[in-house]
Copies of this chain bind each other. A is one copy, B any other.
Amino acid sequence: MIIDGKQYQSIWLDENDRSRVLVIDQRRLPFFFETRELCSVEDIYNAIRDMTVRGAPLIGAAGALGMYLATLEITGRTNVASHLNNAASYLISCRPTAVNLSWAVSKVLESLKGIDDPELLAETAMITALEICETERENCRKIGENGLPLIREISERKGGKPVNILTHCNAGWLACIDYGTITAPIYLAWEKNIPVHVWVDETRPRNQGARLTAWELGKQGVPYTLITDNAGGHLMQKGMVDLVFTGCDRATRKGDIANKIGTYLKALAAFDNNVPFWTLMPSTSIDFTLSDGLTEIMVEERDQEEVTMVEGYHDGEIIPVRICPDETRAGNWGFDITPARLVTGLITEKGICRADEESIGNLFSEKTK
């Protein structure tokens, strides 16, 4: 995406020194726009760990590029295979539940099998990692194209009045490599002069909506309004939401959706008010081994401090403030499950389908045979 006149991805190689991976430091947004250089496997590990980079596709890409950096660290080593295997295990261990991370790391490792020459190893790793980035980017672009007609149709029905889209969390280009998933059709609509307006859920506890989605949309000039996570139901009751677009961490073959905590509440409100609720994702997020999201997907519990503290900008710096009594115990679940019955459909790079086993099976017949 273009930021202040310059083209960016959320991760890229330094043009002048291709042994350096560059990323936007997402912990500092929206208050400071800073890039970080990651020059070693350990740098990549730490950047994922400390949330400098986040979002499933971006974490996968970072892991893949981490494997490329591993190939640059083999000079003088006698057991190259063992070094690469260790690097892969180390990177995956950083976020053991992140499917994209282990998938991308393994894919690069696989591509290096049978190669001994250090230069060829590095070149192969780089090509594979960049291919992974390019595929993610291309998938998002296609999600945009597949989602655009939904926005266009509503725009036409409304006689060109802005299409109001509500979103939760950040499934924008910052979470991906470029375009984003839920933002891809929005950016495309905006480019094509279809008026849109986005209701941005702040998305407690980490406020990815307020911090990242708001920043992204603002930088592209897309009109948006920040709201608390409590407000969406009221807006839908008042006819102020035309579409809900959310991302997805994992979907079952029957169309249940695991996504950021609070997604289920928005899906309930959308259903109650006949507002279409679409989930946008690369098809790699569908886990065809899963049938029932509620019983089969484990919901991770996270640090209590994410709830008891809020981070924000004050007097030139980013600081945390405590919002409750000192001794407060907090519960912090990372995501929730939206049952397929509340989901209008899935928008993927392969096309659109309803959120049921038959429609998903038809769209991905190669996976369900």
Residues of chain B within 8 A (CB-CB) of A30 are 324-325
Contacting B at CB under 8 A, from A191-208, are: 199, 202-205, 207
Asked whether, in the complex, the Cβ of A225 is within 8 Å of the Cβ of B329, the reply is yes
Contact of A215 among B269, B272, B325 (CB under 8 A): B325
The listed residue (B218, B226, B233, B336) touching A307 by CB distance below 8 A is: B226
Residues of A218-251 at the interface with B, using a CB-CB cut-off of 8 Å, are: 218, 224-235, 237
Residue A288, interface by CB 8 Å: no
B321 engages A234 (CB within 8 Å)? no
A229 and B227 in contact, given A264-B269, A313-B321 (Cβ under 8 angstroms): no
Contact residues of A between 166 and 208, Cβ < 8 Å to B:
199, 202-205, 207
Q: State the main secondary structure of chain A at its contact with B.
A: mixed
Q: Residue A234 contacts which of B228, B264, B323 (CB distance < 8 angstroms)? A: B264
- Which residue of B is nearest A299, CB measured? B234
Pair A322/B312 contact, Cβ less than 8 Å: yes
Contact with B along A307-318 (1 / 0, CB 8 A): 111111110000
Q: Indicate if the CB atoms of B228 and A229 lie closer than 8 Å.
A: yes
Residues in B with CB closer than 8 Å to A308 are: 210, 226
Tell me how far the C-beta of A200 lies from the nearest C-beta in chain B, rounded to whole angstroms: 8
Confirm or deny: A328 has a beta carbon within 8 angstroms of a beta carbon on chain B: yes
Q: How many residues of A are in contact with the other chain, CB < 8 A?
A: 61
* Residues A228 and B312 in contact, CB atoms below 8 Å apart: no
Contact A226 B269 (CB under 8 A): no
Looking across the interface, which residue of chain B has its beta carbon closest to that of A262?
B230
A330 CA to B229 CA, complexed, in Å: 12
Residues of B within 8 A of A118 (CB): none
User: Does the CB pair B323–A207 fall under 8 Å?
Assistant: yes
**5 A-B contact pairs sorted by A residue (CB < 8 Å):** A226-B331, A229-B229, A310-B321, A314-B314, A319-B321
Residues of A within 8 A of B (CB): 30-31, 199, 202-205, 207, 210-211, 214-215, 218, 224-235, 237, 260-262, 264-266, 268-269, 272, 294, 299, 307-314, 319-325, 327-333, 336-337
Could you list 16 further interchain pairs (A-B, Cβ under 8 angstroms) beyond the known A227-B332, A268-B268? A31-B322, A203-B230, A204-B204, A218-B325, A218-B327, A226-B324, A228-B229, A228-B332, A231-B331, A234-B261, A234-B336, A310-B312, A312-B321, A313-B322, A319-B321, A321-B321
